[in-house]
Amino acid sequence: MTKRPFVFILALGVAVVGAGLSAIEGTTAGRSGLRQASPERKSSSDQACPEHRSFLRQAQDERCRTVQDEASSREVRSLVEGWPSLRTGLPKHATNALAQQAQKNVWERVYTEAQATRGQETYQQKCAACHLENLEGDGIAPALIGSAFFTRWSTMTVSDLFTTVSTAMPQDEPGSLTPQVYADVISYLIKRNEIPAGDAELPPDTEKLKGIVITEKPAQ
């Protein structure tokens, strides 16, 4: 009678241990299966179409640039809103002072007498019919001399004047002259406004002309 309970308990213990081992083996097998499946997924990703990967990179780069641009725009708006002078603009005398510091002006002898003489010949042939021999204009064509000239062009650059003249004049043949001829005509206009000549010709180059500001005669 005393042996049977002992045998029963021993058998029960063996069964429990066996069940535990089976459970452990099942868990181990599952983990092993997951580890084996992972390389397959990675391999599939590695074998993706190169064009697709390039497209994804480009899309990500574009998104980064968009985010950066939006951030920059917010910073600029914040700066402008916090600095009233950027919204209202600087006073004219302040603009003139900044321009003169950064660039030279027409009073620094930016053309030659010979160039102005060539320009006078062209002016008489192509411009005088509307702007008149004395450059005072016919009432429709504007005056190109005196206060009218400086009111129109003061603080602007010779490049602005060159671009306007070369694209719109002569009225019946706009843009028909060479850059050099337009530069000569502008030299003549500068001379007629009592601005002195120098040793170097006014270049027919808009980028270089951006460095020359039109101003009224500086105070002595």
Encoded tokens for 170: 């002569």
Predicted pLDDT of residue 22: 52
Centre a 10 Å sphere on the Cβ of residue 1 and count the other Cβ atoms it contains. 4
pLDDT, tens digit only, all 220 positions of the chain? 444 554 444 444 545 445 554 544 554 444 444 444 444 444 444 455 655 566 557 666 666 565 565 555 555 444 434 443 333 454 545 445 544 445 899 999 999 999 999 999 999 999 999 999 999 999 999 999 999 999 999 999 999 999 999 999 999 999 999 999 999 999 999 999 999 999 999 999 999 999 999 999 988 7
- Rounded CA-CA distance 26/110 in Å is 94
Instruction: Tell me whether residue 31 is in a domain.
Output: no
Predicted pLDDT of residue 154: 95
Predicted pLDDT of residue 218: 87
Q: Last residue of a domain, which of 63, 89, 115?
A: 89
Q: Note whether 136 and 194 are same-domain residues.
A: yes
Q: Note whether 57 and 101 are same-domain residues.
A: no
Predicted pLDDT of residue 34: 42
Q: Note whether 58 and 157 are same-domain residues.
A: no
Q: What residues does 22 pair with on adjacent strands?
A: none
- Rounded CA-CA distance 205/134 in Å is 27
Predicted pLDDT of residue 124: 97
Predicted pLDDT of residue 211: 97
Q: How many domains does the chain have?
A: 2
Predicted pLDDT of residue 90: 47
Q: Note whether 57 and 108 are same-domain residues.
A: no
Contacts of residues 48-55 at CB distance under 8 Å and 24 or more positions apart, as own/partner, are none
Angle at Cα 216 formed by Cα 211 and Cα 220, nearest 5°? 105
Predicted pLDDT of residue 214: 97
List the one residue out of 101, 121, 96 whose CA is nearest residue 187: 121
- Rounded CA-CA distance 45/21 in Å is 37
Q: Note whether 136 and 84 are same-domain residues.
A: no
Q: Note whether 155 and 205 are same-domain residues.
A: yes
H or E element at residue 63: helix 50-82
Domain membership of residue 58 as a residue range: 46-89
Q: Note whether 207 and 107 are same-domain residues.
A: yes
Predicted pLDDT of residue 25: 52
Q: Note whether 82 and 190 are same-domain residues.
A: no
